[in-house]
Each structure stands twice: as C-alpha cells, then as structure tokens.
Amino acid sequence: MNVAAFVVLAAMLTAYVMLDGYDLGVGAVHLWFSKTERGRAASFAAIKPFWNGNEVFLIAAGAALFALFPKVYAAAFSGFYLPFIIVLWLLMIRGMSIELRGYFTSDIWNGFWDVAFWLSSALLVLFFGVALGNIVRGVPLDTQGYFAGTFTFLLNGYALSVGALALTALSMNGATFLWMRLDPDLRPRAQTLMRALWPVVLLLFIGVTVETIAAHPIGAHVGLWIAPAVALAALIAVYASKRAGGALAASSAFLAALMASAAQTIFPFLLPAFRGGGLDIYNAAPNAYSVGTALTVTIIGVGAALCYGTIAAYRMMRA
C-alpha cells in the first residue's frame, strides 16, 4: 500500500507537469513568442480558462503528501524554507498576472503583467527543475530528516542541468501548445520556436540521463530502461510530428517519461539523503489506516476530477 501511495503521488506530480506544463511553458516563452499585442493577448486567452484547474494538481499533490507522509511534508517544506516561500510568491505573482492582464487596454498595464508572467513562469520552472535535481541527487539530512546543508550545496552542476532541462523542455511544450491552440496565422511562429528549442532539449536530455545513470547505475534491471527509452522516442516524435496535436501528445509523453525516470531513480525514498538513507515510504508513513484513507480519498477525488475536467474541457474546446 505504501508503494501504491508512492505511485499515486508520482502520478499527481506528473499530471501537474503535463497539464500546468503547457501554461507554464506558454509563460516561459511569452516574451520571445510574440511582440504584438494580438499575439500576447491570444496566448493569455488560450490558457485563461484552464490554468487554475491545472494548478490545483500542485495543491492537491502537496496536500496528498501531507496526508500520506506527514514527516516528508514537514521536513521538506521547512527544510527548504526560503526557496519554498519564494516559489509561493512566484505562484502568487503568476496568478495575478494571468488574472489581471487584459483588464485595461493600456500598454503600461499589460506590458507590466507580460513581464511578470514571463519572469514568474520561467523562474518557477527553473526552481522546480533544480529542486527535482537535488531530490534525485540526495541532500544532507539530519536524523529527523530535516535539511542540514547549506544553500550553496543546492546549486550543484547536476541540479542546475536538470533545471535547464526543465526550462527548455517546458518552453518547447508551451510552444507546441500555442502551435495547436492559436489562430492559423500565429501558428507558424509557434512551430518555428518549438523547432528551435528542440535540439537544446535533446542535448540536455542526453546529458542529464547519462549523469543520472552514472550516479545510479541501472545495470541488469532491464525494466528500468523503459522510461528513458520512451522519453527519447517521444522526443523524436515531437520533432517528426506534422500535426500540432500529435506533437503536443508526444511532448506530454516526453515529460511524463522524464517524471517516471526520476521517480524510479529515487524509489523507495521520497527525500533521499546525500550519501544513502533518508525518508522513505516506510519510515515516513503513519499507520496503515491513515495511509489507506488518504490513498482512497485521493484516488476517488482525482479520478472524479479527471472525468469532469475532461468533460468540461471538451465542451469548451468543441466551440
């Protein structure tokens, strides 16, 4: 059951990356993508009805972590206090920029929120990537599982390269989304942008994968090659795809496979310590009844949300 809890948590974070991934990506390329008011307004219009629902996956994943593994929630959030609060501020600024841009037809007002939207989206993606990199690499923990290192420890080469991969991969994802959703005359630009980002993503992906496998040898476990292989295939399909819908599906699969690779690397740990040990799915879990309750609630709630979310999105996009 603790394994199931791990899988559900990883799946929720993956859903977050796939869904909020497109609106974060739209933000990360916002200033480069379009210099005209019409293009920028169109980018916002494409994500406005959906971004909040997507972001709820992050909130729900955080809350599920709280209920399933309270010790990890407590140790991780307080251990990385300042980076975490900065993430909260960036989420707030980003939310304000999406809601407030377009309220007036004023270049000053909209220009301000354009920059805020771009900066907060890009920084968030970078932060998430660096955080993921550090988790995969392991961080110094004390006996209670609280972070016992320094801030500079977190800025290592590996984590920064994961951050760069996250930023470019989501930018590419955002460009692909725009290619699919915008009016026909704006699409070529989005496609060009996507193709320009692609080689960078490929290089970073190969670099990060080699580094990861060097540190956590896969060896004989053939099954563990699946996720990286799917990621590579999906990435190639992004470039090869002639249609925007296909490219977006491939790009989402690429992101999901990346998350799966990260999850299988740290399993069964949730917060691995730098030189072995750490908080895992057994030592951080409360009693079985508590884990079972949280697991049931999460599966029912998220399952229902996926159903009605799909129905609602379908009805909205049909028009």
Q: Does 56 bind ligand HEM (CB under 6 A)?
A: yes
DSSP calls for 72-139: HHHHHHHHTHHHHHHHHHHHHHHHHHHHHTTSS--HHHHHHHHHHHHHHHHHHHHHHHHHHHHHHH-B
Separation CA 207–CA 125 (nearest Å)? 19
**Which one of another protein, ligand HEM, none is in contact with 50 (Cβ closer than 5 to 8 A by kind)?**
another protein
CA proximity to 297, closest of 66, 52, 54: 66
Residue 162 CB, shortest distance to ligand HEM, in Å, is: 27
CA proximity to 135, closest of 190, 85, 79: 79
Contact letters for ligand HEM, residues 198-227 (x by CB under 6 A): ------------------------------
Q: Does 59 bind ligand HEM (CB under 6 A)?
A: yes
Separation CA 273–CA 314 (nearest Å)? 43
CA proximity to 128, closest of 84, 176, 188: 84
Q: Which residues here bind another protein, judged by CB under 8 A? A: 48-50, 52-53, 55-56, 59-60, 62-64, 66-68, 70-71, 73-79, 81-82, 84-85, 88-89, 91-93, 95-96, 99-100, 103, 144, 146-147, 286-287, 289-290, 293-294, 297-298, 300-302, 304-305, 308-309, 312, 315-316, 318-319
Q: Does 60 bind ligand HEM (CB under 6 A)?
A: no
Torsion of CA 189, 199, 18, 262, to 10 degrees: -170
- Report the residue number, 101 or 137, with the smaller CB distance to another protein: 101
Are 69 and 77 in contact by the 8 Å Cβ rule? The answer is: no
Span near ligand HEM by CB under 6 A; candidates 52-60, 132-140, 191-199, 237-245 = 52-60
- Report the residue number, 54 or 171, with the smaller CB distance to another protein: 54
Distances (CA, A) of 271 to 13, 14, 47, 256, 258: 15, 17, 33, 20, 18
- Report the residue number, 77 or 109, with the smaller CB distance to ligand HEM: 77
- Report the residue number, 148 or 305, with the smaller CB distance to ligand HEM: 305
CA proximity to 94, closest of 174, 28, 35, 43: 28
- Report the residue number, 3 or 59, with the smaller CB distance to ligand HEM: 59
Closest residue to ligand HEM in the complex (CB): 59
- Report the residue number, 228 or 278, with the smaller CB distance to another protein: 278
**Which one of another protein, ligand HEM, none is in contact with 83 (Cβ closer than 5 to 8 A by kind)?**
none
Q: By the criterion CB under 6 A, which residues form the site for ligand HEM?
A: 52, 56, 59
